[in-house]
């Protein structure tokens, strides 16, 4: 069954524009309620978390209305990170968890992500069945079976205790100064409090959400402000989360930025040395740098690549029995500790490595030399299919032939925005810039030609 509503990470779009409308959210809640309350009993429950977007109130209420109309009992967590929803779905014995967030997107966007009773994101098949129920319509339950809604005030504290429990016993962050950028998002309370309770001196950034400033010049997609704070305050490390705190970008003591590939390289090497890396395999997406693959190969380890999206990383990890994976963008998944990407959890693992080795972040976060990589995005209008153009395909094939043996070309549609992502890697940076530029120009020309038809 082809999905129309769900992308690579739930349903996402501009608030009050299809599909992210209150009406659709209500229908989606009703469909999810019918899907998970399939035996007609009244003991079923769902936990709902959200980030700090203004539209989160609207979607929280609409989802609650739809869910309770089918007999589901709703537990409202308020603003919490996405990994907290995965954790609390299992610990509160819920049938489903829902996170209202558009992650790293601007505040006008929002999204709805689903977690199954095991705390993992739903499969494509489950999402397709829920989407079919949305299209078919769902009959509400009888009046006496309408569900209840309840605020859960200690959800973030339960999550905080879980985070702290993953830090090595007997160690603290005393003497460590940490810049933490919460992107004015879901972790604006959780992250600084966890670091402070573990003993760090905390320099907070992006901890004053107002409903419209999430990811605005801060967070993992804009780490420059935090990098400046690291240098200014003489911090040992900087941590940049995104709007729902499931991804992280780290900054060393010199203000240098390290992406998810460097973090995964560090953890894979450490876990392999400790005998903890299951199957000697790291799972990452097709976007991860060739330098990471070469680094792992040099240590007798394997890189398993997947499609872009942390859910596909997790699916591969579960299928292969592997316990470490992630994305270059900063989703780091450690199934020994969590069911989804967790930015703060990953950062704590790096800080633990600093404490155990005595090495600074600048040493630990430079595990390999990156192959020059260039990523450019081309926006297109609804209904356009520029990649289907024979001219575009010819340019792409020509580019691949020119970098063969010293790099690669990857072209894909974004699963969350109307963008075509053109990514190239090549040892020859001049050639890289040339071939990526040619592909971008061809895609832009095809898109304009389609618009003129």
Helix axes 155-165, 343-357, angle to 10 degrees: 30
**Can you count the helices (H) and strands (E) in the chain?**
14, 19
Respond yes or no: is residue 103 known to be catalytic: yes
| Torsion, Cα of 375, 381, 385, 387 (10° steps) | -20
The 3-state DSSP class for residue 244 equals coil
Token reading at 8 = 């690579």
Q: How far apart are CA 143 and CA 42, in angstroms?
A: 12
Q: How far apart are CA 335 and CA 338, in angstroms?
A: 5
Q: Cβ-count burial of 40 within 10 angstroms (0-12 exposed, 13-18 middle, 19+ buried)?
A: exposed
Q: How far apart are CA 327 and CA 166, in angstroms?
A: 21
| Of the candidates 42, 45, 125, 33, the residue with the CA atom closest to the CA atom of residue 70 | 33
Beta strands in 86-219 (DSSP E): 96-100, 109-115, 149-151, 177-181, 201-205
What string of DSSP letters covers 184-226?
A: TSTTTTHHHHHHHHTT-EEEEES----SS-TTSS-STT-THHH
What string of DSSP letters covers 302-361?
A: EEEEE-SSHHHHHHHHHHHT--EEE-TTS-EEETTT-SS--HHHHHHHHHHHHHHH---H
Token reading at 344 = 């703060």
**Tell me, what DSSP letter sits at residue 105?**
S
Q: Cβ-count burial of 49 within 10 angstroms (0-12 exposed, 13-18 middle, 19+ buried)?
A: buried
Out of 103, 220, 288, 329, which one is annotated catalytic? Answer: 103
The 3-state DSSP class for residue 377 equals strand
Contact 386, 392 (CB under 8 A): yes
Token reading at 20 = 């992210």
Handedness of CA 12, 44, 68, 76 (dihedral sign): negative
Active site (catalytic) residues: 103
């Amino acid at each position: 069954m082809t999905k129309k509503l769900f992308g690579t990470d739930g349903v996402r779009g501009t608030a009050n524009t299809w599909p992210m409308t209150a009406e659709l959210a209500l229908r989606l809640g009703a469909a999810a309620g019918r899907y998970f309350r399939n035996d007609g009993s009244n003991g079923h429950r769902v936990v709902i978390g959200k980030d700090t977007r203004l539209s989160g109130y609207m979607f929280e209420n609409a989802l609650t209305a739809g869910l309770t109309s089918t007999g589901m009992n709703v537990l409202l967590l308020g603003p919490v990170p996405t990994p907290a929803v995965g954790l609390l779905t299992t610990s509160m014995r819920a049938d489903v968890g829902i996170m209202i967030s558009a992650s790293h997107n601007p505040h006008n966007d929002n999204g709805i992500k689903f977690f199954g009773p095991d705390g993992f994101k739903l499969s494509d098949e489950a999402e397709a069945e829920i989407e079919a129920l949305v299209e078919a319509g769902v009959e509400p339950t009888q009046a006496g079976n309408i569900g209840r809604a309840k605020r859960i005030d200690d959800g973030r504290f339960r999550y905080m205790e879980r985070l702290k429990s993953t830090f090595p016993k007997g160690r603290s962050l005393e003497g460590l100064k940490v810049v933490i950028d919460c992107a004015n998002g879901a972790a604006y309370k959780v992250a600084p409090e966890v670091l402070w309770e573990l003993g760090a001196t905390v320099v907070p950034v992006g901890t004053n959400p107002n409903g419209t400033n999430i990811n605005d010049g801060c967070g993992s997609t804009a780490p420059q402000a935090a990098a400046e704070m690291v240098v200014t305050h003489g911090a040992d490390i900087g941590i940049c989360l995104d709007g729902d705190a499931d991804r992280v970008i780290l900054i060393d003591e010199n203000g240098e930025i390290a992406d998810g590939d460097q973090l995964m390289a560090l953890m894979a090497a450490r876990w392999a040395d400790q005998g903890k890396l299951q199957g000697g395999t790291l799972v990452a997406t097709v976007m991860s740098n060739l330098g990471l693959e070469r680094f792992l190969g040099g240590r007798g380890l394997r890189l398993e690549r997947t499609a872009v999206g942390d859910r596909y990383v997790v699916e591969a990890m579960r299928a292969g029995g592997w316990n470490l994976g992630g994305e270059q963008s900063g989703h780091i998944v450690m199934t020994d500790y969590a069911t989804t990407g967790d930015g703060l959890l990953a950062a704590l693992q790096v800080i633990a490595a600093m404490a155990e080795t005595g090495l600074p972040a600048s040493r630990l976060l430079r595990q390999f030399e990156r192959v020059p990589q260039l990523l450019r995005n081309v926006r297109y209008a609804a209904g356009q299919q520029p990649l289907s153009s024979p001219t575009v395909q010819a340019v792409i094939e020509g580019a691949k032939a020119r970098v063969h043996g010293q790099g690669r070309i990857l072209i894909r549609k974004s699963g969350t925005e109307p963008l075509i992502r053109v990514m190239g890697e090549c040892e020859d940076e001049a050639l890289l810039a040339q071939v990526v530029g040619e592909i971008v120009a061809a895609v832009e020309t095809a898109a304009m030609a389609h618009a003129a038809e």
